[in-house]
Amino acid sequence: MVSIVVDTRLIMIYFYFLEVVRDILIRFFSLSLVLLSTCLLFGCAGMTELTTHTYEDFVAMVFSEEDLDFSNVEVDLSASNLTVDSIAEIDKFGRRVARLLDSPLRLGSIGSAILDRLELSYAGHLAMYHYYEHLENEHASVHEAQLDRIVEYMTTERDGSLEKPYRALSPVDAVLFVQQSGYRVIGSIYVQTNVEPMVLQVMRSKEEGPFDEVFFDLSAIYPVLLREFESRNVEASQAPLPLVLVNLANAGDSSAQLSLGRFLANGGATSRAETMYIAASRADNGYAHMLYGNLFVSRAFDPNERDSHRYLQVAQSHYSQAIDYGYHTALRQLGWLLHRGYFGNSRRSDGMGMLERAASFDDALALRYLGDVYRGGFHEQVDLQRAARFYERAAETGDRMARIEYYRVVAHPDSGLDVGKKVVDWLHDSAANDDVIAMLELGNCYVRGCAQKPNYRKALRWYRKAVETAPENPEVVNTVAWTLAVTDQKRLRNPAYALKIVDHLMANDEESRANPMIVDTWAAAYAATGNFERAVELQREAIALAYREQLSPELIDDIESHLDSFLNGEALSESIP
């Protein structure tokens, strides 16, 4: 997949909380997937390469009557007459087109003004088509044909995803295309990917359904913006996209204002970010309220801020406005705040209502949080079967963490549920994508039976696969080492391997070496191999670290009891996994 390049400094309050998680995921997908999507988008060895055409040549191609293959066509507008000012003018005129489609007689002059600036503008030809069609003039068919050609250029071998965005020659062309497809545009922002330097992310909704996103590659006009930016900034090489968009933002482009505002907020310039968000919200860009809400929640949870409640009140106001636009993510975020008690215990039920509404739109994070609520009994009665239903619905949206949590609930002996083929297939699918937690759970699953009788050979294979995939991941190594060192199931027990992997971790990770729980595992592995002298030495170290880290009394008692066992020459044995 493609990853967003613009760096972020977003505060993650809770794992499920805020679009921040989503933003981070979009920005930092693995390089291998980025390369794969680049290959799919631009062609691999042996496939047709893109041919770049000047705008003048491209216009001639489009106006010709020849059959064109737009799949390998790229347009370069750097030599055109476009400027930042003319792009802003096209945007202004295009938005008037959107408002006046029901008054076609007023569209003639607007369409002409757009086409004077950009001859292949979707907005311009749309205006002229409606104008001439109302007059029953034959020129309507000419503009309709050009619209078809432009749409063909925009959509050929593209699906509007981040990996294969549609193409557009101006931002307003993208917005009008979405609207003419039967959607309501509720917000937009510019982003940059590892493949395209400038992409417009458009949030859209239809009737009462959930909103979704569609992406448009605006690489054709990026050189125009960069040229003007560099002409005013001598040291402008490698400038991040939001800075290149400054002139568009100043000209009133709300997507540019949000991109710049988020960049400023991530850099700590919150007051300047607020100015951008306010301007964008006044331009009816609903995504401004999402970003504004996120900004104030981040400030509310900053330990250096003294007036957290006021910031939460401001965040609530903006999330409420975002909900009015149709952002179910705002329902989830505000619902989370309310249910967690940040607005008082009396509002917790309101929070649950919002979370359930967000879940009705198949919001995976809301579904997963509700699963946690009923699994852990957080201000609700524990109900493992209800928790499983929420996790399952989240898993069906493709949420990989929900797949793991669903398995953990159905595998719980108190759930009254069976581990079926579907959840095992989900774990295999996640493991095939190098999800080490899924590998660990597959190991546990095969020990317990995994929809069939126990298979210790497969269990050991998955434990080893998890460690081989992430040999210096403390959670993975500690889990596997503890399981293989202390399990009471003889066919699974493998103290030598447990000691080998935890030795490697401790030799390469200073933080793990100072972690009392991992040192405890290390001691248990030595005891399991019969080296009680070393086990006692390490266990005393684990106890000292536990007191220093102020672990709970229960954990400290547990660690101290392990020392007693080692002093008595006894290895640990537990019924795990």
Mean pLDDT of 180-205: 96
| The predicted structure's pLDDT at residue 449 | 83
| 177 pLDDT higher than 90 | yes
Peptide bond into 474 cis (omega under 30): no
Taken as a whole, the chain contains a residue count of: 577
- Say what the pTM is: 0.82
- Whose tokens are 């719980």? That residue is 412
Q: Which residues contact 502 (CB under 8 A, 6 or more apart)?
A: 477, 478, 481, 518, 521, 522, 525
| The predicted structure's pLDDT at residue 237 | 56
Within-domain flag for 7: no
Same domain, 227 and 300: no
Confidence grade of residue 28 (pLDDT, cut at 50, 70, 90): very low
Mean pLDDT of 369-391: 96
| 234 pLDDT higher than 60 | no
| 85 pLDDT higher than 60 | yes
Same domain, 348 and 212: no
**Residue 535 burial (CB count, 10 A):** 26
Mean pLDDT of 437-461: 91
Tokens of 148: 């078809």
| 29 pLDDT higher than 80 | no
Last residue of a domain, one of 355, 390, 415: 355
| 20 pLDDT higher than 50 | no
Same domain, 210 and 315: no
| 23 pLDDT higher than 90 | no
| 39 pLDDT higher than 50 | no
| 574 pLDDT higher than 70 | yes
Q: DSSP for 474-524? A: HHHHHHHHHHHHHBS-TTT--HHHHHHHHHHHHHH-HHHHT-HHHHHHHHH
Report which of residues 36 and 258 the model is more confident about.
258
Within-domain flag for 485: no
Confidence grade of residue 54 (pLDDT, cut at 50, 70, 90): confident
Mean pLDDT of 204-230: 91
Last residue of a domain, one of 202, 217, 235: 235
Last residue of a domain, one of 210, 235, 260: 235
| 25 pLDDT higher than 80 | no
Same domain, 66 and 131: yes
Same domain, 230 and 292: no
For residue 200, report the phi and psi dihedrals to the nearest 5 degrees.
-95, 120
Mean pLDDT of 84-106: 95
CA dist 357 and 351 (Å) reads 10
Confidence grade of residue 305 (pLDDT, cut at 50, 70, 90): confident
Same domain, 335 and 198: no
| The predicted structure's pLDDT at residue 26 | 36
Q: Which domain holds residue 554?
A: 493-577
Confidence grade of residue 14 (pLDDT, cut at 50, 70, 90): very low
Lowest mean pLDDT among 31-40, 337-346, 444-453, 562-571: 31-40
Q: DSSP for 366-410? A: HHHHHHHHHHHTSSS---HHHHHHHHHHHHHTT-HHHHHHHHHHH
| The predicted structure's pLDDT at residue 310 | 93
pLDDT digits (tens, 9 = 90+) for 209-220: 899 999 999 999
Same domain, 199 and 67: yes
Tokens of 307: 């007036």
| The predicted structure's pLDDT at residue 21 | 36
Same domain, 201 and 97: yes
Report which of residues 565 and 244 the model is more confident about.
565
Same domain, 217 and 303: no
pLDDT digits (tens, 9 = 90+) for 528-565: 999 999 999 999 999 999 999 999 999 999 999 999 99
Report which of residues 344 and 41 the model is more confident about.
344
CA dist 358 and 335 (Å) reads 9
Most confident of 73-82, 240-249, 346-355, 447-456: 346-355
Same domain, 208 and 297: no
Same domain, 296 and 230: no
Mean pLDDT of 376-392: 96
Within-domain flag for 560: yes
Select from 215, 224, 187 the least CA-distant residue to 87. Answer: 224
Within-domain flag for 179: yes
Within-domain flag for 87: yes
Residue 213 pairs in a beta bridge with 203
Same domain, 225 and 293: no
| 36 pLDDT higher than 50 | no
Tokens of 333: 């975020």
Confidence grade of residue 49 (pLDDT, cut at 50, 70, 90): low
Select from 463, 469, 465, 468 the least CA-distant residue to 482. Answer: 463
CA dist 391 and 405 (Å) reads 7
| 151 pLDDT higher than 90 | yes
Instruction: Name the amino acid, one letter, at 256.
Output: A
Within-domain flag for 37: no
Q: DSSP for 241-310? A: HHHHTHHHHHTT-HHHHHHHHHHHHHTT-HHHHHHHHHHHHHTT-THHHHHHHHHHHHHHT-TT-S-HHH
pLDDT digits (tens, 9 = 90+) for 328-357: 999 999 999 999 999 999 999 999 999 999
Q: Is the backbone of residue 3 left (phi > 0), alpha (psi -120 to 50) or beta?
A: beta
Within-domain flag for 446: no
Count how many domains the chain has: 3
Within-domain flag for 419: no
Report which of residues 334 and 10 the model is more confident about.
334
